[in-house]
Structure 1
Amino acid sequence: MRFTVLFTSLAFLLPSVLPSPAPRSFALWAANSAIVRGQGNGLDASGKPLVSYEHGELQWALRLLFERTGNHTFFNYIKQGVDNVVASNGSVGGGYSAVQFQLDPLRVGPSFIYLYEKTREKKYKQAADLFRAQFAIHSRTAQGQFWHKLIYPNEGWLDGVYMGDVFYATYTKAFEPNNQTAWDDITLQFKLMFENTIQKTATPNHTFSGLLYHGYDFAHKQVWADPDRGHSPEIWDRALGWFMMALVDTLELIDSPPRSRKTEALHALLLSMLNTLAPRLAAITSDATPSWWLVITQPGRAGNYFESSGASMYVYALSKAVRLGYVHDRHGEIIHAAKRAYKYITQHFVVDNGDGTMNWEGTVRVGSLDTDGSFEYYTGIPTVVNDLKGLAAFILASIEFEAL
């Protein structure tokens, strides 16, 4: 980055949409920059309605900013984006179709529920009901895991937990808090994903971290499916990032009053997972390795690099986990790792445009399991400037970092 930024509480931030000079908060600066560019507004590049998980991720970040600053710019932007895809009768456009059995679009669902709670406009509840109904017909593995998409039969991906199950929990908390069947199903989704993807042993040319592989094929039919549980061959940073954010966000959700005894099993499971993964994430960083590799299973290999979206997701999840007391950072290693990584992130991925906005760099465009899931595949995908998956994660990381 080109200048020194002072960290401050969000309570003292200026509310303007395009601040000048640049704000003292990275969270506000990044959010305002996204808004000025028209990112995440429920429309695609050609101006057509689009239901996008990236937009849902940004809306979650803007919601947190609105709640901390009271700046209605953020609330209005969420509403504008949702209104671009939700009709007055509650139908959802933007390319959404329940029978495609995709979990990704459901990431926008929490915004529907949030707007309904704030405005009581019926259409938002109807849209949320439409998304919720998808779970009744969504394809599953024989164990009960939601397929990531219809086109990926019997495959569970870490990404899908953040996309689908956070909405599932948000809906259940808001409208069906006593639905034990739903809470048990949400618990099952997390449990199966964790058990089928956690790295148990080191394999040739792969470093052991004890973290989670990108996904698994329960049918063992994909070229990448390992004989051991059908998991994919590499730990990809952003997939693990989605899962880590799902853990802390779902824990916070079910902890909010009124706390239901029906969520006790889910709460215990998420705490166990978080306390397993958080120290391991922190442990694979150091002064020499201040951030996280794109392909965590092959650190330092030629072609590998520190990627910005996954790192931001980890900073958010680790900081939030410690702040809310879900992980006991007895010796400070976890927060130290988050602070060190955040410093690296702001120094290497944030660029001052000189006009009050910033650019965000270093986010890999995509990561999928529709090829061979190899190291060469992941490292062969280009990075994109101002990719919303990474920029929204950076806003979230900055909110949590500034709250420390």
Structure 2
Amino acid sequence: MKFTYCISFMAILAISASFFSCKKTEKKAETTTSRIKMVVDSTEKWSEKMAKSIMYRNPEAWQIDDAKRPKWDYVHGLVSLAFEKLYAETQNKAYYDYAKGYADALIDSSGNIVNYEIEKYNIDMINAGKILFDLYAKTNDKRYKIAMDTLRLQLKDQPRTKSGGFWHKKRYPNQMWLDGLYMGAPFYTQYTTTFEEGKALNDIAKQFQLIETNAKDPNTGLLYHGWDESRQMEWADKKTGTSPNFWSRSLGWYAMALVDVLDYFPENHPKKQELITSLNQLATAVVAFQDESGLWYQVPNMGDRDGNYLEASGSAMLTYALAKGVNKGYLPDYFMENATKGFNGLTTKLIKVQDNGTITLTQVCAVAGLGGNPYRDGTYKYYINERKKDNDPKGTGPFILAALQLDK
């Protein structure tokens, strides 16, 4: 009897100890959670959630993309432009200061762009110049105008194909990439309408005409990533000059280029309707390959092949272009359903929320190109095996732009 009593008493002690131990652990967990400073409020719009997450991870805009020192680069320009658009919507000066901080870290007192080498004739370097128009208009700081003039000078002397298209880079002769239309054309369009009375608009329209004529697949309506007028590159089809495959982000770059240059083409310009037609044809082509999730695959027309994946940056870019196209009246209203579906796919499938409220965009292709060293052959295997990177700015910038267009 005593033995049974002792066991029962010991069991009660064990249970009591376990109870108080659990309570202590729960209290500690609650205390730890309460100490986490919430960076992002869950009730905020997606545009501000992403912007605040970017600022938290990169206190200075030049630090984006893991940069160790300030550099003039297209991805920083892409994100900074999104911040300018967000400021215009919210009037939160922190967003304006973030974009301005990037420009001021890269443009010295004489208007020179730090670490920029015009002689490389890399059309990617034009893109960041888009943030300078608004800064110059607001501040009348001549440094910004001098920097824009320098970029315009690059376009003046940028090597061209025999038919008149800008080379993607000096070291990539005779090649036009879809990426390059976004890198150069919107800045070129805004510059010529702002400072040159639109004298270069026909030249800008020609860049798109060359791509439409030479890089479009007649069966799908999609455009190949690159076109080599000389047919000399190993990746180029010997008959057409096109690269072997479609790539979702290159289609996204091109779609954004179309919808953005249209902002600066006057209504009565004879080439404006051609550009609107190209945008409509592209929109029809890409929604035919939109996954049921709302997203687009890395290689968009091969969603059922092993190794392919739903890619964030191309999906965000196409979502933005479709939404803006409808908002501006360039596209029929029914494309807004595709844009909404695309954005919902991003937020439900590819966004992760951290303990402090910041958000992470996953499944972003870090980089892809053609040629170079090591050689990039443009095959299916190549595209699906390029590395992925969470929160790559080529995804986060367009995510903000898409969120703004959809008012999400």
Identical counterparts, % of pairs: 34
Q: Distance in 2 between matches of 1:250 and 1:113?
A: 14
Choose from 170, 173, 189 the match for 2:190: 170
Q: How does 1:209-220 map to 2 (within 5 A)?
A: 209-220=220-231
Query: Which of 204, 207, 210 is equivalent to 1:186?
Result: 204
**RMSD of Structure 2 on Structure 1 (CA):** 1.8
Distance 1:388 1:51 in 2: 14
CA shift digits 1:154-173 (9 cap, x unpaired)? 01000001001111011112
CA change 1:23–1:47 in 2 (3 A) is: farther
Partners of 2:157 and 2:150 in 1: CA distance: 12
Instruction: Name the residue aligned to 2:349.
Output: 348
Aligned mates of 1:56, 1:40 — CA distance in 2: 13
SS in 2 for 1:51: coil
**Paired residues of 2:70 and 2:106 also in contact (CA < 8 A):** yes
C-alpha displacement of 1:347: 0.9
Contact 2:40 2:358 in 1 (8 A): no
Count of aligned pairs: 367
Distance verdict in 2 for CA 1:363–1:275, change over 3 Å: same
TM-score by length of 2: 0.86
Q: Give the 3 Å change call, closer, same or farther, for CA 350–193 of structure 1 in structure 2.
A: same
The answer to whether the 8 Å contact 2:243/2:378 transfers is: yes
Shift of 1:90: 0.5
Please state whether the residue corresponding to 1:355 is helix, strand or coil. Answer: coil
1:88 maps onto 2:88 in alignment: no
| 1:294 paired residue number | 298
> For 1:99 and 1:325, how far apart are their aligned partners in 2?
40
Unaligned runs of 5+ in 2: 1-36
CA contact under 8 A between 1:104 and 1:164: conserved in structure 2?
A: yes
Residue 115 of structure 1 aligns to a residue whose secondary structure is helix
| AA of the residue aligned to 1:266 | K
1:23 CA displacement:
3.7
Cα shift readout 1:223-266 (whole Å, capped 9, x = no counterpart): 11113420111010001100101111111233xxxx474xx133
Aligned equivalents of 1:66, 1:40: Cα separation in 2: 17
TM-score, normalised with respect to structure 1: 0.87
Contact 1:212 1:240 in 2 (8 A): yes
Deviation (angstroms), 1:48? 1.7
Contact 1:282–1:338 (CA under 8 A) maintained in structure 2? no
Distance 2:216 2:67 in 1: 40
| SS of 1:21 mapped into structure 2 | coil
CA contact (8 A) 2:40 2:52 kept: no
Bigger helix share? 2
CA contact (8 A) 2:78 2:127 kept: yes
Determine the structure 2 residue equivalent to 1:230.
241
Q: Which moved more, 1:236-245 or 1:105-114?
A: 105-114
Q: d(CA) in 2 for partners of 1:342 and 1:150?
A: 36
Q: In structure 1, which of residues 363, 376, 379 is the aligned counterpart of residue 384 of structure 2? A: 379
Contact 2:226 2:242 in 1 (8 A): yes
1:113 and 1:43 mapped to 2: Cα distance?
Answer: 22
SS at match of 1:74: helix
Counterpart check, 1:198 vs 2:203:
no
Match of 2:324 among 320, 328, 338: 320
Q: Is the 8 A contact 1:187 1:265 kept in 2?
A: no
Q: Partner of 2:33 in structure 1?
A: none
2:244 is aligned with what amino acid? P
Distance 2:364 2:60 in 1: 16
Which protein shows a greater Rg?
Answer: 2
Matching residue of 2:361: 360
Unpaired runs of at least 5, structure 1:
1-16, 202-208
How far apart are the structure 2 equivalents of 1:24 and 1:337?
A: 23
Q: Is 2:137 aligned against 1:117?
A: yes
**2: CA distance, partners of 1:291 / 1:161:** 23
Displacement of 1:295: 0.6
- In structure 1, C-alpha distance between the alignment counterparts of 2:54 and 2:67, rounded to whole Å: 17
Matched with 2:3 is none
* Aligned ranges 1:2-401 → 2 under 5 Å: 19-38=39-58, 41-43=61-63, 45=66, 47-93=68-114, 95-179=115-199, 182-201=200-219, 209-254=220-265, 259=266, 261=268, 264-285=269-290, 287=292, 290-329=294-333, 332=334, 334-370=335-371, 371-401=376-406
Give SS of 2:61's match: coil
Separation (CA, whole Å) in 2 of partners of 1:46 and 1:252: 32
Relative to structure 1, the CA distance from residue 78 to residue 275 in structure 2 (aligned partners, 3 Å threshold; closer, same or farther) is same
Q: Deviations over 1:289-319 (max 9, x none)?
A: 5321111232211111110000011110001
Aligned counterparts of 2:186 and 2:104: Cα–Cα separation in 1: 21
1:244 aligned counterpart, secondary structure: helix
CA distance in 2, matches of 1:266, 1:367: 31
